[in-house]
């Protein structure tokens, strides 16, 4: 039973990133002080821990499902390979993605199950999946997704209020029943001893593509750069706590008021490196046809736009196009050298400086 593995603890002597711990129960009852702390976390760092999220059992079951999938023979998993066209749905085999500008291939594998397929099942909207997905769809994958959507939409509603957007504005762009690139992702990376060298990253530095990510990991390895700093700090996993972060779509929609922080994954530290590293994310992303541009019905966002006329926040692409560009540029088969890698994998990381300037004014 994968769930029974006892991992060594995260080393005590490593510097870690000071993420705020936000209490989901308090957010749900509308606690003003907690909403203010969420706003601080979302604007200053874009990353925070979430406790009392009420999905621990669903998360644990999802780790078991994910493990069952990655244990299938590679030939079986390969039938569901994502392909190079920018779709995020399906299986990604080890080596199918690039982790740096020189074209180094990755060692991790992952399976991405789309929200639209989860709720339409047994009908297929985007694609089909390995058999364990069908077996556990109704009993595990759908209940987990429901909880994750509830958490992410609750957070979006607090941010909507803090941004002084007309009520329900962010919710209108994230209706669960409308097609989007929302997805559950389960990632599996081999132990250091087998295939990963200490220098090699598991996941290249990136910002997330969408709106809100609800992440669960058990071993260290996730790292972030604090605003303005070049060095990487570990985000220490805390049992029962999710890690939440903002993605590019919300940076663009808020003209930089919210922050999508750069992060990467390296092999787990110390004794933990001897173990397989698994993680689970639910990505909430705007509906596919949403055009990424600032929501100027918020006075604060309108001011952020007009105070920075040189900044072109109107990306002229839909959410789906934004995601497809970034996802396809990471495929090893699409790798075209350093310049193309930089250009096509780019997210909103360059807007971070502006976001900082604006939040310090707020």
Ligand X SMILES: O=C(O)CCC(=O)C(=O)O
Q: By the criterion CB under 6 A, which residues form the site for ligand X?
A: 185, 187, 203, 208, 215, 217, 222, 263, 265, 279, 281
Query: Which of the listed partners (ligand X, Fe ion, none) does 236 bind, with a CB threshold of 5 to 8 Å by partner kind?
Result: none
To the nearest whole angstrom, how small is the minimum distance from the Cβ of residue 175 to ligand X? 23
Pairing of strands 47-51, 21-23: parallel
To the nearest whole angstrom, how small is the minimum distance from the Cβ of residue 161 to Fe ion? 26
To the nearest whole angstrom, how small is the minimum distance from the Cβ of residue 303 to ligand X? 31
Q: 92, 75, 70, 74: which is closest to 83 by C-alpha?
A: 92
CB of 152 or CB of 203, closer to ligand X: 203
Sheet bearing 263-265, strands edge to edge: 203-206, 263-265, 222-225, 232-234
Query: Which of the listed partners (Fe ion, ligand X, none) does 323 bind, with a CB threshold of 5 to 8 Å by partner kind?
Result: none
CB of 42 or CB of 301, closer to ligand X: 42
To the nearest whole angstrom, how small is the minimum distance from the Cβ of residue 208 to ligand X? 5
Q: 217, 178, 212: which is closest to 283 by C-alpha?
A: 212
To the nearest whole angstrom, how small is the minimum distance from the Cβ of residue 218 to Fe ion? 16
To the nearest whole angstrom, how small is the minimum distance from the Cβ of residue 180 to Fe ion? 17
Helix (H) or strand (E) holding 173: none
CA pair distance 24, 35, nearest whole angstrom = 10
CB of 129 or CB of 283, closer to ligand X: 283
CB of 121 or CB of 209, closer to ligand X: 209
CA pair distance 221, 233, nearest whole angstrom = 10
R_g (Cα) of the chain, nearest Å: 19
Q: Which residue is nearest to ligand X (CB)?
A: 279
How many Å from the N-terminal Cα to the C-terminal Cα in the chain? 50
SS3 string of 4-70?
A: HCCCCCCCCCCCECCCCEEEHHHHHCCCHHHHHHHHHHHHHCCEEEEECCCCHHHHHHHHHHHHHHH
CA pair distance 356, 43, nearest whole angstrom = 8
CB of 157 or CB of 213, closer to ligand X: 213
Query: Which of the listed partners (ligand X, Fe ion, none) does 43 bind, with a CB threshold of 5 to 8 Å by partner kind?
Result: none
CA pair distance 34, 158, nearest whole angstrom = 10
Six-digit token pair at 226? 């604090």
Query: Which of the listed partners (Fe ion, ligand X, none) does 108 bind, with a CB threshold of 5 to 8 Å by partner kind?
Result: none
To the nearest whole angstrom, how small is the minimum distance from the Cβ of residue 206 to ligand X? 7
- Residue 248 interacts with Fe ion (CB under 5 A): yes or no: no
- Residue 109 interacts with Fe ion (CB under 5 A): yes or no: no
Residues making up the chain, counted from first to last: 362
Q: Which of 61, 208, 248, 287 binds Fe ion (CB under 5 A)?
A: 208
x/- string (CB under 5 A) for Fe ion, residues 168-207? ----------------------------------------
Interface residues with Fe ion (CB under 5 A)?
208
């Amino acid at each position: 039973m994968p769930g029974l593995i006892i991992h060594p603890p995260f080393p005590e002597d490593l510097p870690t990133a000071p993420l705020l711990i936000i209490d989901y129960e308090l957010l749900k009852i509308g606690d003003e002080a907690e909403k203010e702390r969420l706003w601080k976390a979302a604007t200053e760092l874009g990353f925070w821990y979430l406790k009392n999220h009420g999905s621990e059992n669903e998360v644990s079951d999802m780790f078991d499902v994910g493990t069952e999938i990655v244990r299938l023979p590679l030939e079986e998993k390969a039938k569901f390979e994502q392909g190079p066209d920018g779709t995020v749905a399906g299986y990604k085999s080890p080596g199918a993605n690039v982790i740096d500008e020189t074209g180094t291939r990755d060692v991790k594998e992952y399976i991405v199950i789309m929200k639209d397929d989860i709720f339409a099942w047994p009908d297929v909207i985007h694609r089909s999946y390995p058999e364990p997905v069908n077996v556990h769809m109704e009993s595990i994958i759908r209940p987990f997704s429901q909880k994750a959507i509830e958490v992410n939409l609750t957070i979006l509603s607090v941010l909507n209020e803090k941004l002084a957007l007309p009520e329900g504005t962010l919710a209108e762009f994230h209706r669960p029943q409308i097609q989007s690139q929302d997805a559950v992702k389960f990632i599996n990376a081999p132990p250091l001893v087998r295939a990963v060298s200490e220098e090699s990253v598991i996941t290249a530095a990136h910002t997330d593509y969408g709106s809100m990510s609800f992440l669960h990991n058990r071993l260290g390895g996730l790292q972030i750069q604090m605003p303005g700093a070049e060095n990487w700090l570990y985000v220490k996993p805390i049992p029962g706590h999710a890690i939440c972060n903002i993605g590019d779509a919300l940076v663009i929609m808020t003209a930089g008021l919210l922050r999508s922080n750069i992060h990467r994954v390296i092999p787990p530290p110390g004794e933990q490196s001897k173990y397989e590293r698994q993680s689970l994310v639910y990505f909430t992303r705007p509906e596919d046809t949403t055009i990424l541009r600032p929501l100027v019905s918020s006075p604060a966002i309108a001011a952020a736009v007009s105070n920075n006329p040189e900044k072109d926040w109107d990306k002229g692409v839909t959410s789906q196009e934004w995601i497809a560009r970034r996802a396809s540029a990471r495929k090893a088969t699409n790798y075209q050298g350093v310049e193309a890698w930089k250009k096509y994998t780019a997210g909103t990381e360059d807007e971070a400086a502006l976001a900082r300037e604006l939040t310090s004014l707020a």
